[in-house]
């Protein structure tokens, strides 16, 4: 609950002279439950984001998409010529008051030129940027033109026949559709992502023909296995989808999960280069190039001599020049493992259905769409039925006039006032007001038997149509047949071959085992106080073991190891950078070595202060802080399944670190303070933590102005009486060095 502050008294003297401007309750501070604050202030905003912005509905569109497409439809951009994008944006602002730039950005994503959608809805002309490029921006709206693609006919088909609800826009000046009466499951046809308050949605795209055929089978039987007809997702950018049946079945069943998509490439033997022409939908050209360059700099991709973006009007192309003798397939397997050339598309099929968000599997989504489309067809049929009944009613009145046209003319001619014409016709022929109005409006040229007989022939057709429409409304199977027929027409008119090729995990599993081939051989690792690192082979070290160091620098760590070990570099900014010994070149003692901060691209003013070496992440890291505390963290806390090279909050920043220590197992350590006191204890008394930035536990009692300044391994026999420096409980003050341990002799 919020802090109680009481009420602030507002006397009448403090009120403005003009009582009309006084706001009741202004200036009062009142107690309010935090739950009420969230409910009254945050929840309306969260619901608005979920319902009206970020989560797509069963027709496959977010409100912003729907408003743009509907306004373009109203502007006759389905059949007419293209219009300036600026003009379209201006018109859409009648429905969407969120600003012209937001509207234009949304329209760009729907366009054919942007290449984000498998089946784009906007036919664009001009520079609309590219989905696969981070830096290739689209031109301003005043320079580009657009209209609706032909497939949009299926979005607005029969929208004028009450197929969907029409609602007021934000200022109640015009109507807009709450949903679009789409004739195919567009919700699965184009990729759609959105982040709302407390929830998100990520829907991958599928091939139109596969989705429609699956829907047709579900119309026949709800027990249809969707995996038989819906092979796998399909993306506008193509690529290779790594198909794992169990993973895909889980996504189809639950609507959650992830699958891998990798780039498509070819090898130009003449120019010794790899040409990448299709990439995963979750990355960009620039991200791929940046990552490859980073790996080349660290020495893990030594086969590459150059990489460049050669994208042009012909489409996407990344060219990688490789060194002579390089196996391109083997190199690509390595690139798939360490760069975004293979990436994971995460699925979260979260959709709004009847104003309720639901995470659904593919079958459930299609069944919900069938229910939605069934209601659209039912409403359309009812609309046509009512129109046919109204028309039949009028013709029934005309049929009675046929019996005596002369009488009708005589009634009209002998009526003194125009307002009496309709009542007189009603009396003369026994028809109702609507029929009489229709008869009275017939042109003089149509008062002949031929015209009236032709109209009467329509009665039989209308009666047959009404009978058929009634049967449709009463028979759900007929509605399903109509939906199925429309889906077949969509396939016939708009189907395209798959763009994303399917490859199976069984075919690539053997290849992926060969990705990381790190040569393993003995090396000695050196780390200096100034943050320099050297990796020297035994042969080189035997030839010369005199180290070249910068002035004032000294070697902190000397570790005999192998080339395949992982390295953890802890920095002065409480971060750790992960690398491997293989990432550093072999060097000699006569060189300064590699400056770790530059090699691992650390932040400005950041430098490495300690190095840990491991291959299985067993054991612990000990951190001794100047405030007298020590933290024991399991080394496995720094192990990651991904290829991340930097981990933040690697240790606590509440107090400066006095000493780092890597422990394969518990041991005795000696801790010293600036007061000259020594404390000896075994690290087993400190419980290990998995939280990296734990503040630790107190091990040494310090007086004001004192600090813990060092920690080191205990050497057996270095103290004459070790028990003198031990304590039963921690924290302890420790003891001053005895005369025996300092080497002093007593004198008289």
**Residue 441, pLDDT score:** 84
Task: Pick 101 or 17 by higher pLDDT.
Answer: 101
- Checking if the pLDDT of 2 tops 70, the result is no
At residue 375, the pLDDT reads 96
Number of H helices, E strands in the chain: 21, 33
pLDDT higher at 37 or 17: 37
pLDDT tens readout for residues 265-297 = 999 998 999 999 999 999 999 999 999 998 888
pLDDT in tens, 651-692: 999 999 999 999 999 999 999 999 999 999 999 999 998 889
Select from 271, 269, 270, 278 the least CA-distant residue to 311. 278
Q: Is 124 a residue whose pLDDT tops 60? A: yes
**Long-range contacts, stretch 429-437, CB < 8 angstroms, 24+ apart:** 429/397, 429/400, 429/401, 430/400, 431/397, 431/400, 432/397, 434/393, 434/394, 434/397, 435/393, 435/394, 435/396, 435/397, 435/398, 435/400, 436/397
Asked if 736 and 678 touch (Cβ cutoff 8 Å), the reply is: yes
Q: How far apart are CA 440 and CA 347, in angstroms?
A: 63
Find the catalytic residue in 143, 451, 494, 714: 143
Whether the CB-CB separation of 587 and 559 falls below 8 Å is answered with no
Q: From CA 300, how far away is CA 580, in angstroms rounded?
A: 10
54-82: average pLDDT: 93
Residues in Cβ contact with 340 at an 8 Å cutoff, skipping those fewer than 6 apart: 279, 280, 282, 283, 287, 288, 291
Least confident of 393-397, 464-468, 693-697, 744-748: 744-748
Place of tokens 């807009």: 176
Percentage with pLDDT > 70 across the chain: 92
- The C-alpha atoms of residue 563 and residue 574 are separated, in whole angstroms, by 26
pLDDT tens digits for range 345-403: 999 999 999 888 899 999 999 999 999 999 999 999 999 999 999 999 988 888 888 77
Q: pLDDT tens digit string along 231-263?
A: 999 999 999 999 999 999 999 999 999 999 999
In the predicted model, what is the mean pLDDT of residues 149-163? Answer: 95
pLDDT-derived band at 50, boundaries 50, 70, 90: low
pLDDT(642) > 70: no
- How many Å is the maximal CA-CA distance in the chain? 155
Question: What domains does the chain contain, in order, with CATH numbers?
Answer: 61-181 (3.90.199.10), 264-340 (3.30.1360.40), 378-494 (1.10.268.10), 522-742 (2.120.10.90)
642 or 40, greater pLDDT: 40
pLDDT of residue 509: 52
pLDDT of residue 214: 97
Tokens of 161: 């026949």
Reported as a pLDDT band with limits 50, 70 and 90, residue 418 is confident
What confidence tens digit (pLDDT) does each residue in 82-109 have?
A: 999 999 999 999 998 878 999 999 999 9
pLDDT band (50, 70, 90) for residue 514:
very low
pTM: 0.68
Mean pLDDT of the chain: 88
Residue 467, judged by CB atoms within 10 A of its CB (0-12, 13-18, 19+), counts as exposed
pLDDT at 460: 86
Q: Specify the pLDDT at position 374.
A: 96
Q: Count Cβ atoms below 10 Å from residue 270 Cβ, excluding itself.
A: 6
26-40, 80-94, 197-211, range with the lowest pLDDT: 26-40
Please tell me which of 15-24, 379-388, 681-690, 724-733 the model is most confident about, judged by mean pLDDT.
379-388
CA–centroid distance for 389 within its chain: 51
Q: Over range 115-141, report the average pLDDT.
A: 94
Residue 414's pLDDT is what? 87
- pLDDT over 50 (residue 485): yes
The pLDDT score that the predictor gives to residue 51 is 65
Q: Is 143 a catalytic residue?
A: yes
DSSP state letters, 582-632: GGS----TTS--EEHHHHTTPPTT--EEEEEEESS--SEEEEEETTSEEEE
Asked if residue 519 has pLDDT above 90, the reply is: no
How confident is the model over 304-329, as pLDDT tens digits?
Answer: 999 999 999 889 999 999 998 889 99
Backbone dihedral angles phi then psi of residue 548, each to the nearest 5 degrees: -95, 120
């Amino acid at each position: 609950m919020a802090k109680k502050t009481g009420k602030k008294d507002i006397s009448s003297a403090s009120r403005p002279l003009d009582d009309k401007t006084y706001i009741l309750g202004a200036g009062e501070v009142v107690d309010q439950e935090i739950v009420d604050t969230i409910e009254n202030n945050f929840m309306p905003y969260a619901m608005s984001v979920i319902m009206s912005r970020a989560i797509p509905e069963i027709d496959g569109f977010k409100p912003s998409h729907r408003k743009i497409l509907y306004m373009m439809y109203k502007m006759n951009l389905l059949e007419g010529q293209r219009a300036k994008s600026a003009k379209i944006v201006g018109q859409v602002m009648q429905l969407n008051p969120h600003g012209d730039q937001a509207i234009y950005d949304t329209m760009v994503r729907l366009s054919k030129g942007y290449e984000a959608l498998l089946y784009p809805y906007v036919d664009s002309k001009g520079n609309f940027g590219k989905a696969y490029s981070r830096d290739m921006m689209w031109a301003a709206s005043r320079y580009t033109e657009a209209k609706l693609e032909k497939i949009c006919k299926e979005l607005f088909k029969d929208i004028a026949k009450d197929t969907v609800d029409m609602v007021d826009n934000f200022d109640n000046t015009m109507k807009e559709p709450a949903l679009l009466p789409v004739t195919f499951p567009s919700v699965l046809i184009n990729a759609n992502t959105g982040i709302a308050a407390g929830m998100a949605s990520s829907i991958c795209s599928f091939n139109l023909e596969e989705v429609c055929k699956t829907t047709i089978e579900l119309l026949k039987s709800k027990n249809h296995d969707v995996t038989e007809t819906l092979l796998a997702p399909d993306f506008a950018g193509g690529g290779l989808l790594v198909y794992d049946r169990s993973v895909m079945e889980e996504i189809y069943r639950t609507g959650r999960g992830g699958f891998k998509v990798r780039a498509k490439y070819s090898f130009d033997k003449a120019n010794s280069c790899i040409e990448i022409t299709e990439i995963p939908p979750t990355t960009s050209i620039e991200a791929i190039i940046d990552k490859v360059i980073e790996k080349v700099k660290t020495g893990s991709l030594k086969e590459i001599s150059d990489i460049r973006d050669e994208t042009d009007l012909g489409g996407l192309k990344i060219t990688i020049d490789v060194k002579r003798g390089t196996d391109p397939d083997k190199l690509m397997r390595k690139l798939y493992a360490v760069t975004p050339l293979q990436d994971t598309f995460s699925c979260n099929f979260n959709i709004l259905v009847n104003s309720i968000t639901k995470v659904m599997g593919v079958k459930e989504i299609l069944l919900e769409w069938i229910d939605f489309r069934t209601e659209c067809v039912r409403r359309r049929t009812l609309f046509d039925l009512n129109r046919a009944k109204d028309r039949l009613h009028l013709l029934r009145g005309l049929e009675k006039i046929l019996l005596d046209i002369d009488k009708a003319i005589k009634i009209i001619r002998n009526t003194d006032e125009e307002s009496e014409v309709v009542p007189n016709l009603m009396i003369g022929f026994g028809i109702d007001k609507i029929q009489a109005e229709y008869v009275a409006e017939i042109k003089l040229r149509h008062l002949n038997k031929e015209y009236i007989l032709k109209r009467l022939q329509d009665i039989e057709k209308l009666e047959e149509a009404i009978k058929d429409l009634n049967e449709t409304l009463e028979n759900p199977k007929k509605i399903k047949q109509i939906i199925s027929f429309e889906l077949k027409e969509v396939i016939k008119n708009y189907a395209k071959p798959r763009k994303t090729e399917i490859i199976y995990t069984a075919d690539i599993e053997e290849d992926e085992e060969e990705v990381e081939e790190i040569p393993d051989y003995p090396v000695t690792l050196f780390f200096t106080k100034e943050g320099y690192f050297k990796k020297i082979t035994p042969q080189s070290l035997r030839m010369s073991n005199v180290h070249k160091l910068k002035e004032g620098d000294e070697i902190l760590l000397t570790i005999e190891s192998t080339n395949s070990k992982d390295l953890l570099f802890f920095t002065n900014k409480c971060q750790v950078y992960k690398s491997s010994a293989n990432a550093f070149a072999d060097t000699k003692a006569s060189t300064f070595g590699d400056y770790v901060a530059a090699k691992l691209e650390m932040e400005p003013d950041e430098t490495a202060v300690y190095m840990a070496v491991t291959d299985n992440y067993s054991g612990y890291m000990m951190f001794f802080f100047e405030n007298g505390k020590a933290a024991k963290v399991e080394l496995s806390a720094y192990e990651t399944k991904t290829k991340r090279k930097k981990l933040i909050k690697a240790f606590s920043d509440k107090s400066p670190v006095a000493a780092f220590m890597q422990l394969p197992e518990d041991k005795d350590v000696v801790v010293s303070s600036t007061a000259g006191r020594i404390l000896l204890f075994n690290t087993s008394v400190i419980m290990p933590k998995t939280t990296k930035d734990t503040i630790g536990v107190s091990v040494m009692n310090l007086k004001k102005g004192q600090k813990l300044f060092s920690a080191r391994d205990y050497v057996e026999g270095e103290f004459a009486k070790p028990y003198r420096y031990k304590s039963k409980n921690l924290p302890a003050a420790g003891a001053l060095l005895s005369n025996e341990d300092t080497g002093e002799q007593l004198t008289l």
